[in-house]
Amino acid sequence: MAGSILGNRVLRKEDPKFLTTGGKYIEDLNDEPMFAGALHVTYVRSTVAHAKIINIDLSECKNAPGVVAVFTASDLGLEEEASGFNAAAKRAHLAIGKVRWVGELVAAIVTERPDQGEDATERAIIDYETLEPLIDLEHAMTSMNLIYEECGSNIVMGTVEMGMPDNTGDELFKDCEVVVKGRFMNQRVAPCPLEARGSAATWIDGRLIQWISTQHAQGVRNEVVKANKIDAEKVRIITPDVGGGFGAKISAYSEELLLGNISKNVGKPVRWRETRSESMVGLGHGRAQLQYITIGGTKEGRVTAYQLNAIQDSGGWVDVGTVLAPFMTRPMAQGVYDIEKMECRTTSVVTNTTPIVAYRGAGRPEATAAIERAMDLFAAEIGKDPVDVRRMNLIPKFMQPYATKIGHVYDVGDYGTALDKALAVAKYSEARAEQAERRKRGDKIQLGIGVSVYVEITGGVDPMQEHAKVNVLPNGRAVVYTGTSPHGQGHVTSWAMIASSETGISIEDIDVVWGDTDLVPSGGGTMGSRSLQHGGAAVQKVSIELVDEARKLAAKLLEANESDVVLDKNTGAFHVAGTPAISKSWSDIATAADTKTGLTQEGIFVASSATFPFGSHVAIVEVDTETGQVKHRRHIACDDAGKVVNPLILDGQIHGGIAQGTAQALLEEFRYDQDGNPITTNFADYTFISAAELPSIEVVHMETPTFVNPLGAKGIGESGSIGSTPAVQSAVIDALLHLGVRHIDMPTTPERVWSAIASASA
């Protein structure tokens, strides 16, 4: 191999398996001897949003065909436990005394076959005393009907509680010539991984072995340890291939955490697999943030003040979604703009809905959507092109840490160049000219152009470090052990490329192992776009150290001074400088180290700070003004994720992110009726995007390396979903600006678009 493999478009090593024999998922455990004769667990779920539990009668369930056992919270010895985000909020894995959303677990039924469990749950009789369901965020904030009485309020967290300053915004806008206000709903969405959740558990020689579809095996192990009240060494978590996660599979849920207890009680292995409808109400939701913005500045377009009041829906439990607004939305509220006066207040509120968890971008898309919509409203108010207003207010290029007014520090940024690159490919001036012609003619199909410029934070969630181990076997092959957990990101290829670039071992001869806590006890998992900058950097660090150790052995084998021995990465062999004819291969060195296990090096990479990818998106849509139908015609994305290891994988991540962001802008919304009943519980009701609704995505490459890690890499897994959503939403609104439309909440469905046109004309 000539030169470094890094930076090349290398085909993914994973793909032949997935495209031929297929991956091994939770559903494919039939061949595992440990699960022979496994029983199946089905859960009885609450059918009401908010109620006291008067009585649970499972007597008829016990008599149903195939039923082996039934369990309530008391049967399993469960107790209520405090939330890690607000200690006053408490609940158990099976409801005790009260239910708080449709889909919450009430009881477990164990059967010989999964279909028998589905039938048996229909026989459960639960006597409820219904309470007022709280679905509307602002009503829940003021209601004295408390979802968690001990909290004293349905507001379970705010900016002050997080130890952040709660400034007053009264003086922010007093000197502004123009002030614009807006109310935006960043709607609730369901993650919809193609592989719904599943898990299997069994006890072997006093150890709990549990397979689970997750993004973080080591984190799940800690949760399973707590749920089963046993020592960590008595738990082994194994993650097979995972068919999508998007943040919702970072942590374990009650359905999975109960399996060890149930398996112990029935004395057999147990399995659980959720249906799609269960997934829609049981797997944590995303976004669900109500935003009030105020933006002010001069008539020429200079923005001097911005205020965001973010009200975060936590759903029916005080889960990680509670902290997304203060932890992720607030620090990124300023975005890419040099604004003199800034304020962001956050409030997290529980409602009788599915709990909110992390979802691709987790708080950063919400911050970007708010500031980008605000910039558009401001531009429309003063009658200027939204691109001109953005360019006037961008933070100038910086290659050293930049402190924002909101109190965060970005690493490097060149926002103006990203905007210019995207606009050039989009042929922005030509698109505006075509738009003007259509408006002049009064065409039925109008053109809309949406622009976003964003910055996001990646690798900023603990742990800001990652573990890696590289083992070169006596046969010359290498095995990389990583604490990250791939579920579509291409880690096997990227980690093999990084190890190959340092060792000279061909990527075909490098395997990657992850997701088994016996083999990889330490690891931070995959979330927050952390994997390459932490996990990849760890592999690079350990590979370099491995070469140093190998050089010492090579020197002994070659009977030379260590300082004279070099590694020829093109051949993967060590030799004395100037005499390549006599060399020692990795196989020779690994055999010399240990004839059975070879040569091993392991270590941890620790990041000094988070990184801040940035970019610009341009979306071009057509809107039918008679029907409200939107067609996404073009999408140009310039996403700067620092130094790129594999452009092919980078493009794939961008494509996937744009698909997800576009889906939120145009189609997706999880909805409830006034009684808290979910009304979008399958793919017939919940609109799921496909390739047919998407244009061919035009990726514009740009690399601004970070100094935070030796790779110079930043995250890319979430950028596409951050930049695309406001661009597409803005494009739809832009098509209708001349008709008097100023804002349409997402999703911009035909019904909403048509209604906005009708309201404006009226």
The whole-angstrom separation of Cα 320 and Cα 312 is 11
- Give yes or no for residue 347 having a pLDDT over 80: yes
81 & 219 share domain? yes
The whole-angstrom separation of Cα 694 and Cα 685 is 20
Q: What torsion, rounded to 10 degrees, do the Cα atoms 148, 150, 154, 157 define?
A: -120
Where do we find the tokens 């549990």? 210
Average pLDDT over residues 71-77: 98
Question: Residue 716: what residue type?
Answer: I
Indicate whether 50 belongs to any domain. yes
Average pLDDT over residues 738-754: 98
User: Which H or E run includes 633?
Assistant: strand 630-640
Average pLDDT over residues 379-395: 98
Count structural domains, the chain.
Answer: 3
Query: Which of 585, 606, 627 corresponds to the end of one domain?
Result: 606
573-576 and 579-585 beta bridge pairing: antiparallel
Indicate whether 267 belongs to any domain. yes
DSSP characters over 202-260: EEETTEEEEEE--S-HHHHHHHHHHHHT--GGGEEEE----S--TTTTSS--HHHHTHH
The whole-angstrom separation of Cα 334 and Cα 312 is 18
Judge whether 505 and 466 are in contact, CB under 8 Å. no
User: Which H or E run includes 479?
Assistant: strand 478-482
- Give yes or no for residue 628 having a pLDDT over 70: yes
SS3 345: strand
- Give yes or no for residue 2 having a pLDDT over 70: no
305 & 378 share domain? yes
207-212 and 579-585 beta bridge pairing: unpaired
Indicate whether 170 belongs to any domain. no
Question: Residue 244: what residue type?
Answer: G
pLDDT in tens, 419-435: 999 999 999 999 999 99
Indicate whether 162 belongs to any domain. no
51-57 and 178-189 beta bridge pairing: unpaired
* pLDDT of amino acid 169: 59
723 & 706 share domain? yes
Those residues with Cβ within 8 angstroms of residue 403's Cβ, 6 or more apart along the chain or in another chain = 409
- Give yes or no for residue 316 having a pLDDT over 90: yes
Average pLDDT over residues 108-121: 97
Q: For residues 555-590, b (16+ Cβ closer than 10 Å) or e, as one string?
A: beebebeeeebbbebeebbbbbeeeeeebbbbbbbb
CA-nearest of 585, 575, 553, 555 to 477 is: 585
* pLDDT of amino acid 168: 52
Share of residues in the chain with pLDDT > 70 (%): 98
647 & 579 share domain? no
CA-nearest of 470, 498, 464, 474 to 602 is: 470
- Give yes or no for residue 1 having a pLDDT over 80: no
119 & 60 share domain? yes
Residue range(s) defining the domain that contains residue 580: 15-21+461-606
Average pLDDT over residues 391-408: 96
- Give yes or no for residue 119 having a pLDDT over 70: yes
452 & 465 share domain? no
Average pLDDT over residues 446-450: 98
Model confidence at 158, in pLDDT bands (50, 70, 90)?
A: confident
357 & 414 share domain? yes
Average pLDDT over residues 108-116: 97
Average pLDDT over residues 720-732: 98
- Name 291's bridge partners: 184, 310
750 & 708 share domain? yes
615 & 709 share domain? yes
Average pLDDT over residues 256-263: 98
* pLDDT of amino acid 397: 98
Judge whether 53 and 98 are in contact, CB under 8 Å. yes
587 & 551 share domain? yes
Residue 77, domain CATH? 3.90.1170.50
470 & 543 share domain? yes
Of 137-141, 457-461, 563-567, 748-752, the poorest mean pLDDT is in 457-461
* pLDDT of amino acid 324: 87
Residue 526, domain CATH? 3.30.365.10
Average pLDDT over residues 260-282: 98
* pLDDT of amino acid 254: 98
Of 151-160, 468-477, 509-518, 630-639, the poorest mean pLDDT is in 151-160
Q: Where are the beta strands (DSSP E) in 92-137?
A: 98-99, 105-111, 125-130
525 & 504 share domain? yes
The whole-angstrom separation of Cα 91 and Cα 315 is 14
- Give yes or no for residue 167 having a pLDDT over 80: no
270-273 and 39-45 beta bridge pairing: parallel
For the entire predicted model, the pTM comes to 0.96
Q: What torsion, rounded to 10 degrees, do the Cα atoms 390, 391, 397, 401 define?
A: -20
Q: Where are the beta strands (DSSP E) in 497-576?
A: 510-513, 565-568, 573-576
Model confidence at 762, in pLDDT bands (50, 70, 90)?
A: confident
* pLDDT of amino acid 305: 97
* Mean model confidence pLDDT for the chain: 96
Indicate whether 329 belongs to any domain. yes
